[in-house]
Structure 1
Amino acid sequence: MTNIVVLVGRVTRDPESRETNGGTTVTNLSVVTDRPARNSEGKTYKDEKGFTVKDAEFHRITCFNGLGKNVAQYCTKGQMVSIEGRLHYTQWEDADKIKRYGCEILADKVDFLTRGASQDNKDAPDIGE
């Protein structure tokens, strides 16, 4: 059996990082991917300005320990990234005893395909190294 996810998209907001009581770094980020939208006939179509209409999907990504620290330090909103990891589903009850479900990607690898806008990442390794 296999559970592998590969995404290439843009970071939608700066990553948020925290440390657990046990000392594990957990960093969360959101990545958006898009694809051409299709009409009821299954064909792609253009908007009034002549651009192909796109459907966007937002993905929740979680990184741990060293990977999480690097993502928190060097990754910023708008940056293009490649994510490799696996799908992880969760289930819980909220305060009103309603069952809730979630899905996230637990990242094993994050590649920075572009530099972010922040000055904090000026010392980041060169892309392609």
Structure 2
Amino acid sequence: MADFNKVILAGHLTKIPDVRTLQNNITVASSGIAVNRKYKDKEEVMFIDIVVYGKLAETFGQYTAKGSAVLIEGRLSFRQWEQDGQKRSKHEVIVESLRLLGNKLADNNTTADKKQTNTAEKEERVITDEDVPF
């Protein structure tokens, strides 16, 4: 039997993507994703670390923000390191494919534009007797 390592998740980003360039000029972005699971009357939330490499990392950092809805496809990875003399480890998803389900940045801009438009409309409607030229 062949081994298979594939992860598909849909959820919302838990933090602003941290985009950086490694010494070998590879761009890396890391963030987290919250995935909800509902069953009976309960809801369970899982928080999963994700890592994106290369050109996709640049796009990820540019077009997403905390709260952005995304669909990711990738593979599960296990990373180990030593910090302050203690061995550390964690699982994370290495993202190979990414789809934006709703652009948080665009949604925020649209909301701001609507507020400005509504304010302008209210200001246009307020006319006093002093403003009338005759």
Could you tell me which amino acid in structure 2 is paired with residue 15 of structure 1?
Answer: P
Rounded Cα–Cα distance in structure 1 between residues aligned with 2:13 and 2:49: 10
Secondary structure, counterpart of 1:117 in structure 2: helix
Larger Rg: 2
For residue 108 of structure 1, the aligned residue among 87, 96, 107 is: 96
CA distance in 2, matches of 1:67, 1:117: 18
Query: 1:103 and 1:92 mapped to 2: Cα distance?
Result: 12
- The answer to whether the 8 A contact 1:78-1:117 is kept is no
| Structure 2 counterpart SS, 1:21 | coil
Distance 1:120 1:55, change over 3 A: closer
User: Is residue 87 of structure 1 aligned with residue 65 of structure 2?
Assistant: no
The TM-score, its normalising length taken from structure 2, stands at 0.73
Structure 1 residue runs of 5 or longer lacking an equivalent are: 38-43, 46-52, 123-129
Q: Which has the higher contact order (CA 8 A, sep 6+)?
A: 1
Work out whether 1:10 is the aligned partner of 2:12: yes
Task: Give per-residue Cα distances to partners, 1:37-67, cap 9 Å, x unaligned.
Answer: 5xxxxxx22xxxxxxx311111111001100
Provide the secondary structure at the position in 1 that maps to 2:105: coil
Residues 16 and 111 of structure 1: CA distance in aligned 2, closer, same or farther (over 3 Å): same
1:121 to 1:14, Cα distance in 2 relative to 1, 3 A:
farther
Measured after TM superposition, the shift of residue 103 of structure 1 is 0.8
The answer to which structure has the higher helix fraction is: 2
Q: 2:87 aligns with which of 89, 99, 105?
A: 99
2:33 maps to 31
TM-score by length of 1: 0.76
Correspondence list, 1:10-89, <5 A: 10-36=12-38, 44-45=40-41, 53-89=42-78
Structure 1 residue runs of 4 or more that deviate by more than 3 Å after TM superposition: 117-122
Closer/same/farther in 2, CA of residues 109 and 35 from structure 1, 3 Å limit: same
The size of the alignment, in residue pairs, is 108
RMSD of aligned alpha carbons: 2.0
The percentage of counterpart residues that share the same residue type is 29
Structure 2 residue ranges without an equivalent (≥5) = 111-134
